Amino acid sequence: MTNQERGNAGPNVYITSDPHFYHANIMKHCGRTAFMTDDDKERYILAKADATGTLMHQFRPSEESVQRMNVGLVANINKKVGRDDILWCLGDWSMIPKHKKYYDAYYNRCREVRDWIQCRKIYFIWGNHDDNDG
């Protein structure tokens, strides 16, 4: 029940963690098949059935699946949060690249995703995938 439904003024506070925006491998590690293309889903199912683990090791979701995941996660968040609400993310907003030359693109993507979310305030707690020193 939201603050408004309770008759209380003020923003609602929501908490999330580990969305892992733009992190292709999280789709296979967590089985996020709802966001995968049909082709990726088929390859994922075959990889899961491979007893040697070779196919799963080689499996990488397509960019289309990753983008579907990003859009889907934002849509799920936006179904809950309102413009005046507060969202806390308790780590692993995205996945920091291993090489510093990609840091600018990483920060731009993080900002882009943040801008897709409709609430005005989002507070972040750094997770081990958000910081190269984590």
Q: Say if residues 92 and 130 touch (Cβ distance below 8 Å).
A: yes
CA distances from 62 to 7, 22, 40 (A): 46, 11, 7
At residue 134, does pLDDT exceed 50?
A: no
When comparing pLDDT for 114 and 101, which is higher? Answer: 114
17 SS3 class: coil
Render pLDDT for 60-84 as a digit per residue (tens, 0 to 9): 999 999 999 999 999 999 999 999 9
Query: What is the C-alpha separation between 47 and 60, in angstroms, rounded?
Result: 10
- In this prediction the pTM is 0.83
> Token digits for 46?
């075959």
* 101-111 mean pLDDT: 84
Residue with tokens 């692993």: 92
* 15-32 mean pLDDT: 93
Sheet holding 86-89, edge to edge: 13-16, 86-89, 121-124
* 114-120 mean pLDDT: 94
Name the average pLDDT for the chain: 89
Render pLDDT for 40-61 as a digit per residue (tens, 0 to 9): 999 999 999 999 999 999 999 9
Specify the pLDDT at position 96: 75
Specify the pLDDT at position 100: 78
Specify the pLDDT at position 94: 86
